[in-house]
Amino acid sequence: MPPTDARILIVDDNEDILQAARLLLKRHFSAVQTLTDPAHLATLARRGAFDVLLLDMNFAPGADSGTEGLDRLAQVLEIDPQAVVVMVTAHGDVELAVEAMKRGAADFVTKPWENERLVATLTAALNLRRSRMEAAELRQRNSGLVSATHTESGIVGTSPAMLRVFGAIRRTAPTDANVLILGENGTGKELAAREIHRLSPRANGVFLRVDMGALSPQLFESELFGHRRGAFTDARQDRTGYFRAATGGTLFLDEIGNVPLTLQSKLLTALERREVVPVGAEKPEPIDVRLVCATNLGRDRLADENLFRQDLLYRINTVEITLPPLRDRREDIPLLLEHYTAQYSQKYNLPPKRLSAALIERLCAWSWPGNVRALRHAVERAVILGEGDMLDLADFPLADSGRAGEPRDTAASARLDEVEKAAVIRALEQHRNNVSRAADALGLTRASLYRRMEKYGL
């Protein structure tokens, strides 16, 4: 069996002990370095020259108090808080070794040691080092993600329907309950998920979004649970899956309704056991995430056992929040128009844009297929292309006639829309709302299909 890829540093003032340890350990670990003078230990720690440190408790002739060993331990841990140190003490000084562990040592061995025990202790210490480094890497990654994704709520509305949504979010956020958000495309499900995270005790952790509809079945486990190097052909290095990457924060699984039945059981197992097994790994790893899911499937579709496992549904919808379509809260449209007009004027460094009362009235009468997302895109386009400070109807080409709120008046156009809408609905049903597969069947890109879904309010 080849030596484990690890660097072991042994610090002891006895050359015979160093020689014996080196001869034993070099058969088990790739690099074994020895040091008689602990004065050089700090320099090596700053350089990150070892993975595990085997440190004697006493160095001065006749010393047996262990004070110097404890001082060196403190010095190393101050330089590298993730350092893993195994103390070496004389037989009978167990109380001293326990004191060292209280101060941060990972373990201890006594002289004279048993070879098998020493190797086992250092192997366990090496695993601890790797776990600490992985956790530190996750924290650093999450810290960057938090700064990049943590924003104030973008949900706008004062209608009774939205006030009910806000109340549900406020009551749910402080708990760690799993949340399922229902609603048509474009109603703001991701914004609601972010607001739950922002108001939760995990607000300082990462908010990580995963588009479940975009995950291929072949990479499902690798993306969510991670994999080990060599687990499959292209696994050239270890990968941290989304569940582990979101440790301490919120994991948002968007389009959860698009997960095939064959893969839903794997997701259910992870949620039930609160652990994942990376592809190619032998042992499970614990997960600590707040789960928020979203889907555009209706409640009746989710209740269909041929589409969605009911035991998984029970796991993800401890709390269920439904976002209303924009056509059911038209009183929020003026507020949304004002909000996005100001936002995009500032974003593109343009003079503030205004909307006349007549324009607002016409936009409120529009059916808004695609909901808030469609309104937001329409305002962004109008702010960019509109001439002057006052926007007019011509800046909002929401119908074929170019005038918002006016139905198309040709029967042929209406029939064409009906045929296209029916084709989109049929493709989505045949592929169980998997947008990627439905788009392929229709000969469209995902973006094109999304635009048609927005157009027809699907």
Is residue 152 situated within a structural domain? no
Is residue 140 situated within a structural domain? no
Pairing of strands 275-276, 285-286: antiparallel
In terms of domains, do 26 and 114 share one?
A: yes
Is residue 403 situated within a structural domain? no
Distance of CA 109 to the CA centre of its chain: 40
Rounded CA separation 131/137 (Å): 10
**Which of 99, 133, 167 lies at the terminal end of a domain, its last residue?**
133
- Identify the bridge partners of residue 250 per DSSP, sorted by sequence position: 207, 290
In terms of domains, do 283 and 390 share one?
A: no
Q: What is the pLDDT along the chain (458 residues), one digit of tens a residue?
A: 567 788 999 999 888 889 999 999 998 998 999 998 888 899 999 988 899 999 988 887 767 778 888 999 999 999 988 889 999 887 656 778 788 888 888 888 888 888 998 998 898 888 888 877 766 666 555 555 444 444 445 788 999 999 999 999 999 999 999 999 999 999 999 999 999 999 999 998 899 999 988 888 888 888 899 888 877 777 777 788 899 889 899 999 999 998 988 899 999 999 998 999 888 888 888 989 999 999 999 888 899 988 899 999 999 999 999 999 999 999 999 999 999 999 999 999 999 888 988 889 999 988 888 899 999 999 999 999 888 888 888 888 764 433 334 444 444 445 556 767 877 888 888 887 888 777 777 767 766 777 778 777 77
Q: In what order do the strands lie in the sheet with 52-56?
A: 29-35, 4-11, 52-56, 84-90, 107-111
pTM passes above 0.75: no
**Residue-number span of the structural domain to which 257 is assigned:** 157-324
Provide the CATH number for the domain around residue 378. 1.10.8.60
Structural domain count of the chain: 4
Is residue 404 situated within a structural domain? no
Burial tier of 154 (Cβ tally within 10 Å: 0-12, 13-18, 19+): middle
> What is the DSSP secondary-structure string of 382-437?
HHHH--SSEE-GGG---STTSSTTPPP--HHHHHHHHHHHHHHHHHHHHTTT-HHH
Q: Give CA separation, 208 vs 101, 148, 200, in Å.
A: 36, 11, 14
In terms of domains, do 173 and 315 share one?
A: yes
Sign of CA dihedral 366, 372, 378, 383: positive
Is residue 142 situated within a structural domain? no
Residue 8 half-sphere exposure toward CB, CA atoms < 13 A: 29
In terms of domains, do 305 and 194 share one?
A: yes
